[in-house]
Structure formats: C-alpha cells, structure tokens
Structure 1
Amino acid sequence: MRPLLITVGSRGDVQPYLALALGLRAAGHRPVLAAPRRFEPLATGHGVEFVPLSDELLRAQDAAKGQGVRAAVAGARAVKPMLRRLLDDEAALADGPADVVVYHPKSLGGPYVAEKLGVPAVAGLLLPLYLPTAAFPSPILPFRVPRALNRASWRVTSAVEAPYRGMVRAWRAEALRLEGGFRPLADLVEEGPVLSAWSPLLLPAPDDWPERARPLGFWTMPAPGGWTPPERLARFLEEGEPPVYVGFGSSVGRDPERLTAAVLEAVRLAGRRAVLATGWGALRPGTLGDDVLAIEEAPHDWLLPRVAVAVHHGGAGTVAAALRAGVPQVVRPFLGDQPFWADRLHRAGVASAPVAGRLTAGRLAGAIDAAGELAPAARALAARLSAEDGVAAAVARLTALAASPA
C-alpha cells in the first residue's frame, strides 16, 4: 500500500503523523509524509520518504513572536496568500501515486487531493473536531456553555474554516481541475472515515458517536533509543531529587519574562528543583541558581519519566507523553484545545485543576503541590496505557479500508 500522509502545523501536528508513517513502514507499506519543510530532517532522519510543503505560516509565526498586536494583525492579513501557496504545494501531491490519503484537517486541501487521485480520504484527528456530540462542547470553544448547548457548540469548528472556504473552492477548481460537487471540509470529515488518535482512557467515545470515530490510542514515536542527553542535563538529574519539568512547547505568552519569573518563584515556594524547556520562547530565563536548569528541548519520552511533576501547556503531544511517563501534571493552557485537554486530565485524576487565566507564583506552587499527590494515580494510568498501540490500530484500520470495495 502507498499511503500519502498530509499534515501542517507545529511539531505537535507533525510528529504523530511521522509515528503513523513509521508504523505503516514496519507493516510493509510504503508511506510518504508531506509536511512543512522544516520537518524534513526529522522525517528523513527516521528514513521516511518526505515531500516538503510551504512553511511560510510557521516562519511568519516565528517572526511575530513577542512583536505585539500590530505584528499579529499584519501577519493575519498575509495568511490567505500563504495558505494558497501551501495548497498549491498540496496540489502537486496529486501527481504521485497513492492508495489512500490520511490528512490533518489543518491542511485544508487533503480530502480534495484524495478526490483528484480517486482514492479514499481519511481524516487523522489528533483531537475530536468535526464530530458533534451532546456529551461535551467543542474542544476549541473559548468559553463554557450550558450542557444543553453542547451539540450546537460544534458549529464553531465550521465557522473557523469558513473564511477560507471560497479560496479552497477556487483552488480545487484551478489547481486540481475538479469541476462541481464542492463540499466543505467540515462536512467531509464529519461524514467520512476518520482515525481518532487519542486514548479512550483519557477521552472515551460518547454514546452518540459512530463506531468509526472511536479513539484508537495516541500515535506515538518509538522510544528514542540511543539518545544521549547533554552532560549538564544528565548531571543535574543525578545530583538531586527528581525535578519539576516546565515547558510550554510552541505556545508563546504576551510576557515571557513575567511568566518565567512566576515559574521560578513558584518552584522556590514549592521547594523543588526544576528543568525549564524554553521551546519557542514562552520562557526566557536569565541568570539561574543551581536548583534550576534551562534547556531548549529534550525528547519527552526520555525526560518526563525522570521528573516528579510535568508543568506544560496542554498540547496533545505533551499530554500523551506525560501520561505514558506516569508523571502527574499541571496544565497552564494558552489557547485552542489546550483548556479541553487540561480539563480531561483533571477529570482523570492525573493533573491538578488547570491554572487558567493570570498565572501567579502562589497559584502555580499550589498546583505543583497538589499534582505531587496524584503520582500513584498517574503511574496506574500509565500502566493501563502501556497496553494500547494507537499506531498499530490505525494501520489495521487503514489496511482494511484500502482493501474494501469502493
């Protein structure tokens, strides 16, 4: 089978698709991964065939870091031309062979590339989007609603896509030369095959979901065998009690210096050592004491099992890694689906209450202390998670789909 996997976004959007590609290759298939250009070394380093897509949107996001509202507004004006160039890169994928297309909804063009190729289009969902339920509101809804409005709240997903719908329609006709029959992405995802890439232990399928949408388990990379930590990180971990990990991934707040100061004071109040992962710049540590170490990043699967508490932004990839590591969590969500995952972790008993709104040292220290009490529950859930293999389940689903009659 020749699966084409299309994803865009940050590393949290790309790495699960790379994990799926590795699982497909291990099963004897010949996957190709199409993703933003900057992730080519990551994919080819694992021996996965890679097609680079425009990463202008990521570069614009990088350039706007810390530049204030004016830069953000200017960047927003340039989004549509950047998206069109990204879609043109995706259109070129239809020139190659494929038996099935697995696409991230952020790609916008994935199902239409599959339409041009005449093969099944499967939405690879890293969070429950486009699948309405009365059990909980849309994960990207920025405010709470009464339970009676849960199902109606899912219309927000379609509304987010709506500003680009005309552009996608024109691109489908011009670049792919597909005439008539245009259907919005939201409708295609809701009605078509999906692979739900999260653990049912964290978010089971609601009773009103179709069987095809039931979660298969997280798509996780193989353990980083052979990864050697920097000497200073290895030495720091060996010289004292397991530290608190603090890292906010690609999330960037309005005032990194204030956030960093609050984090450092919280760690001191909690009487803990800490490893700070600066990531995309949410944390900007200056001079640090002997009880805090700053790094840019380290493989979560290597580092998180060695810490006492993980403080993070609530991105799905970090959530999965912390769950597998059996480490209790504190989530300071920034945007998007992060508040949703923070709430799910708290309900599962493996994270303290989400630290939403303004983060203060006292609030974070209290959350770290509360999370420390949840260590037994976190270890127990990790033991249950170890029996899941979301990649293998997705590979089996794709194989069956490709073999079924059209």
Structure 2
Amino acid sequence: MKALVITTGSRGDVQPFIALAAGLNAHGHEAVVAAPRRFEALSGSAAVAFVGLDDSIFALQEELSGSGVGAALTGVRRARPYLRRWLSDLTGLVDVQPNVIVCTRKTLGGTALAERLGVPVVPAQLIPLEPATAQYPIPLAPAWWPSAANKLSWRASGALEAPWRSMVAQWRIDQLGLSARGASYGSLVDQVGVLSAWSPHLLPAPADWPAHAAPLGFWTLPGPVEPLPDALGRFLDAGEPPVLVGFGSMLDADPARLSDEVIAGLRMAGRRGVVVSGWAGLGAAVNGDDIFVVDQADYRALLPRVAVAVHHGGVGTAAAALTAGIPQVVRPYFGDQPFWASRLHAMGVAPAPLGRLRSAALAERLTQAVALAPTAQQVADRLAGEDGVAAGVDRLERLIEDH
C-alpha cells in the first residue's frame, strides 16, 4: 500500500509517526509522512519520504515561550490564521495519491482528505481519546473527576475540535469540494478501529474496549541515534550518572524561579544534573561544574547515561525513560500529563507527582526515585520484548484487508 501518514504537534507528536512510516517501508509498503516542515531532517534520518506542512504556528508558540501562562492562553486567539495556512497545505496532499491515510485527530483535516480522495482512513492516537471506557476517565479529565462518571468524560474528545469546526467546514467546501460535515473521528474509530501507539505495560486496554483499539506498543524511531555534543559527553564521563531535567515545550510563568528551584533541588540531593533548557528556558544563569545545560539532545542517547529523568509527564518522554530503564520524577502541567504521572507512580517507576516544583520536594522525590531503579529496569526488560511498530504495521494491513 501507499500510506500517507499525517500528524502535527511537537517532536513527541511527530517522531512516533516517522517510526511507523519507516516500519511500513521496511515491510514492503511505501509511506510518506506529512508534518510540520521543521521535522524534515528527522524524517530524512529515518529515510522516510516527507512533505513539509505549514509550521508558522510554532513561531507564535516560541514568541510566547517564557512569557507566562496568561500570555500563552491569550495567544490561542491568534492561532486562527495559522490554522488556515495548515489546512491550505493539507489540500496539496491530494497530489501524493495514497491509497490509505493514517492521521491523528489533531490534524483536523486528515479524514476529509481521505473522503476527497475516496481512500480508506485509519485513525491513530498516542494517548487514549477513543473509544470511551467506563474503566477510567479520558486522560484530559481533571483529577477530581468522579469515577461514576468516567464514561461521560470521553465526550471531551470530540470537543477538542469544536473551536475550529466552522473553519474546517468552510475549508471542506471551498478547497475540497465536499459537504460541510463528514463522518466524525469517533465514528471512524468505531467503524474502522484505531492504531493506539502506547505500551500495554504502561496502560493496558480496558476490558470494554474492542480488540481493534488495544494498545500496540510504543512506536520507536530506528537508528541512527543523534550523537551527544562533545562537551556533554565529557560531562557525563566526569562523574556519577547525573539527573536529567527537561520539561519539553512546557511554558512556565516564572522560568527564573523554576531554574533556581531545580538547581537547588539537585544540589540538595547531592546530584549532578543535565538540564535541557527547552521552551521553559531552564538553566539560563547556572554557575557550577555540577550542572550542564543543553538546548536539546537525543534522549535515546542521553537517557541510558542518567540516573533519573525529571520531566513534565508527556507520554513520549515517559516512554523513552521506561525503555531506558530509568526511574522518573514527574511535574505535570496540564492535559494528559497528570494521567501519565499517576500511571507511572502506580507502576512503581516514579514517586508521587510533584505539584508546584520546590527544591526540597524535588530533592525528596529524587531520593525516592533512585530507590525505584530495580523496578524501572524490570519494566524496561519487559518492553524489550515489544515491537510496537511491527504491531502497528500488522494491524494497519489487517484493517485495510477488512475494509
């Protein structure tokens, strides 16, 4: 088959789909990834064909980086022109001429493109958004959500598209020549199935889920691993395995305070640290030979060389740390992050999640996390027997055969 794989978001949202595309190629199919154009080099490193889509919304996100939560929230109103450009670029994907499309809900127009081309579409997800279950609330639900209303919470999945529904409807009419409304993403999951790209060791399938929605395993990008900067390598070689601290694309209202608390917490625990600055702008004014600040690094190379990973609870980072056999400390911010933080704690690979990060609390959690290293290694040993990409390719083949 010729598969067009469409995704958007941060590196953690895109990298698993490049891995899936590489797996499709390895199994004799042809795959093309369409994603924000800044990930073209990442796709090229995996020898996967790539179509770059508008990524100007990242400029808005970076403009707001470090400006505080309030600025980030008001910036949402400025996103509409960027999304129009995104949808316009989706229209051009007609020229790829696939015979199947794999897309996430976040792409907004992926299912409409399949409708325009008359080809099957297979939904995919990195976190559970469909189908509903009574076993637990949707990961986006607040922590106080009552268990008796678990199934009701899953209605929030469809609400994610609500702010952009009218814009997508107009795009369907104007650029694709379709009616304003098509089949909902949830109904497609019910009819076709869904590729769920997380490990059942992290989150097993609920008892009331159909087999065609069960988790397949993490989609891990094949080599080559990006080499670490020479200076970072020397730092790692110079002492005991350090603690990795990085909050990805999360914005903090007070980056300077967060940096101070992180560094103080590391020193209070007697640990060296590698601080990945990310969008939070961590470590800008760090002094001392016990802390190394880096803008970014390939976690596949870095995580096996650290003692603990401190992060925001994104499922991609959690997966990388689980695979590396590293205990974790999680300071969740919003969305699905508290859900995954709770899961990691329940698995015994992370202490209780942090709230507002304070140095003393961080130091305490680091001490607790180090003691969880044997459990983290046991989980990594179980994950080593999984091949989520191969399972994803196999399920996609079966779903297309049954279409």
Q: TM exceeds 0.5?
A: yes
Amino acid at match of 2:217: G
Instruction: Label 1:69 to 1:232 Cα distance change in 2 as closer, same or farther (>3 A).
Output: closer
1:68–1:300 Cα change, 3 Å? closer
Q: State the Cα distance separating 1:69 from its structure 2 match.
A: 6.0
Query: C-alpha separation between the residues in 2 aligned to 1:284 and 1:240?
Result: 20
Q: Residue 211 of structure 2 aligns to which amino acid in structure 1?
A: E
Query: Residue 181 of structure 1: CA displacement?
Result: 5.7
Determine helix, strand or coil for the equivalent of 2:205.
Answer: coil
What letter is aligned with 1:312? H
Q: Is the 1:8–1:107 contact (alpha carbons within 8 Å) kept by the matching residues of 2?
A: yes
In structure 2, give the amino acid aligned to 1:275: V
* Distance in structure 1 (CA, Å) of the matches to 2:193 and 2:246: 34
Question: In structure 2, which of residues 372, 389, 392 is the aligned counterpart of residue 394 of structure 1?
Answer: 392
Candidates 362, 365, 368, aligned match of 2:366: 368
Give the 3 Å change call, closer, same or farther, for CA 360–70 of structure 1 in structure 2.
closer
Matches of residues 166-205 of structure 1 in structure 2 within 5 Å? 166-179=166-179, 182-205=182-205
Cross-structure match for 2:248: 249
CA drift at 1:302: 1.1
Q: CA distance change for structure 1 residues 371 and 190 in 2, over 3 Å: closer, same or farther?
A: farther
Aligned to 1:25: 25
Higher deviation after alignment, 259-268 or 285-294: 285-294
Please report how far the alpha carbon of residue 282 of structure 1 lies from its aligned counterpart in structure 2 after TM superposition: 4.2
Deviation of the 1:345 alpha carbon: 0.6
Q: For residue 386 of structure 1, what is the amino acid of its counterpart?
A: A
Residue 311 of structure 2 corresponds to 312
Which amino acid counterpart does residue 285 of structure 1 have in structure 2? Answer: A
Question: Following TM superposition, by how much is the alpha carbon of 1:94 offset from its aligned partner in structure 2, in angstroms?
Answer: 1.9
Please tell me the residue identity of whatever aligns with 1:401.
L
Higher mean displacement: 231-240 or 30-39: 231-240
The whole-number CA distance in structure 2 between the counterparts of 1:11 and 1:64 is 18
Q: Which amino acid aligns with 1:12?
A: G
Does residue 348 of structure 2 align to residue 349 of structure 1?
yes
- Name the CA distance, whole Å, in 1 between partners of 2:93 and 2:87: 10
Does the 8 Å CA contact 1:165/1:184 hold for their aligned counterparts?
no
Partner of 1:36: 36
- 1:155-190 per-position Cα deviation (integer Å, ceiling 9, x unaligned): 122222212112212211221111366233343345
Deviations 1:322-349 (A, max 9, x none): 0000000001111211111111111111
Distance (Å, rounded) in 2 between the aligned partners of 1:92 and 1:262? 47
Change (3 A) 1:82 1:12: same
Q: What is aligned with 1:382?
A: 380
Q: Distance in 2 between matches of 1:239 and 1:129?
A: 44
Distance 1:180 1:80, change over 3 A: closer
CA distance in 1, matches of 2:363, 2:164: 43
CA distance in 1, matches of 2:382, 2:23: 21
Contact 2:197 2:219 in 1 (8 A): yes
1:284 counterpart residue number: 283
Computed over aligned residues only, the root mean square deviation of the Cα atoms, in angstroms, reads 1.6
Q: In the aligned structure 2, how far is the partner of 1:310 from the partner of 1:94?
A: 42
Tell me what 2:136 maps to: 136
Unaligned runs of 5+ in 2: none
1:8-47 residue CA offsets vs partner (Å, 9 max, x unmatched): 1111111001111111111121110000111112212332
1:262 maps onto 2:261 in alignment: yes
Rate the CA distance shift 1:346–1:89 in 2: closer, same or farther, 3 A.
same
Residues 330 and 371, structure 1, Cα contact 8 Å, conserved in 2: yes
Shift of 1:6: 0.3
1-structure distance, mates of 2:27, 2:136:
36
Partners of 1:107 and 1:346 in 2: CA distance: 31
Higher mean alpha-carbon deviation, 67-76 vs 276-285, is at 67-76
Q: For residue 160 of structure 2, what is the amino acid of its counterpart? A: V
Q: Is the Cα contact below 8 Å between 1:224 and 1:302 reproduced in 2? A: no
> 3-state SS of the aligned residue for 2:310?
strand
Matched-pair contact (CA < 8 Å) for 1:94–1:117: yes
Output the amino acid matched with 2:200.
Answer: P
| AA partner of residue 145 (structure 1) | W
Find the residue that maps to 2:30 and give its secondary structure: coil
1:224 maps to 224
CA distance in 1, matches of 2:181, 2:326: 49
Whether the 8 Å contact between 1:346 and 1:352 is mirrored in structure 2 is: yes
Aligned to 1:31, the other structure's residue is in SS state: strand
Aligned to 2:46: 46
Segment of structure 1 superposing worse, 80-89 or 29-38: 80-89
Quick one: which amino acid aligns to residue 379 of structure 2?
L
- Give 2:72's aligned residue: 72
Residue identity opposite 1:177 in structure 2: G
Aligned-partner SS, 2:160: helix
| Partner Cα distance (1:287, 1:352) in 2 | 27
Question: Which segment drifts farther, 202-211 or 86-95?
Answer: 86-95
Out of 168-177 and 124-133, give the one that drifted further. 168-177
Gaps of 5+ in 1: none
- Between the aligned partners of 1:233 and 1:112, the Cα distance in structure 2 is 46
1:4 match? 4
Residue in 2 aligned with 1:333?
332
Letter in 2 for 1:326: G
Do structure 1's residue 322 and structure 2's residue 321 form an aligned pair? yes
